[in-house]
Amino acid sequence: MALDKTFRELTECLRKLRDSFLALQLTAREDLPAEGGVVLVDKFGDAADDSLGWAEEALSAASQAERAVVPPPNIELARRALSSSQEHFHRLQQRFQSELVSYQRVKDLTAFGRSRRGEWAAWVKSVKGGLEQCQSPMEQASRCLSDCWQEIAERAAMTSVSVHSTNIGQQIATSEADDFVRRGMT
């Protein structure tokens, strides 16, 4: 695949990921029922805020990488920007897994919705739906990042020089006269 196309796809994947976290953040923060919030609700909101921020940072770095590969490509700048995007994506992924969709968090969220009922049950259902909506863009972004790294590696391989040396040993031949002198015979 073409380098610029691969990076353009990454930017689009991260844009979709950012949008899914924006929707989750709006649900977690803005669609709250007026009364009865608890620490669990704040934890989801904080994790959604952080995740959205990291998604935006990953997207910003990916956009920089995309601009760097427009012909003539600056592979070193693209590599640094891609590395930054990857780092932000990993933070997002880690927070998503540990704070938003871990078994314990989802279990706590479900129990909270059952205990509060009414508007809170609807809010929990919306949050869980938002979490599900983030899964596919997360997987796609991960694949796009991998594709970009593969393109960078292929570019590096095309411009590298490989030297292979083999040593078959040294053969030294002496004349018969030298052999006699060495043995002390004349």
Confidence of residue 155 (pLDDT cuts 50, 70, 90): confident
Which has more pLDDT, 34 or 144?
144
Least confident of 5-9, 15-19, 121-125: 121-125
Percent of the chain surpassing pLDDT 90? 67
**What does the block give as tokens for 109?**
């969220």
Least confident of 18-22, 59-63, 83-87, 154-158: 154-158
Percent of the chain surpassing pLDDT 70? 83
Residue 22 confidence (pLDDT) above 70: yes
Tell me what pLDDT residue 77 has.
Answer: 96
Q: What is the pTM of this model?
A: 0.80
Q: Domain ranges for the chain, please list them.
A: 3-162
Tell me what pLDDT residue 41 has.
Answer: 86
Residue 23 confidence (pLDDT) above 70: yes
Tell me what pLDDT residue 184 has.
Answer: 57
Confidence of residue 26 (pLDDT cuts 50, 70, 90): very high
Class of domain 3-162: mainly alpha
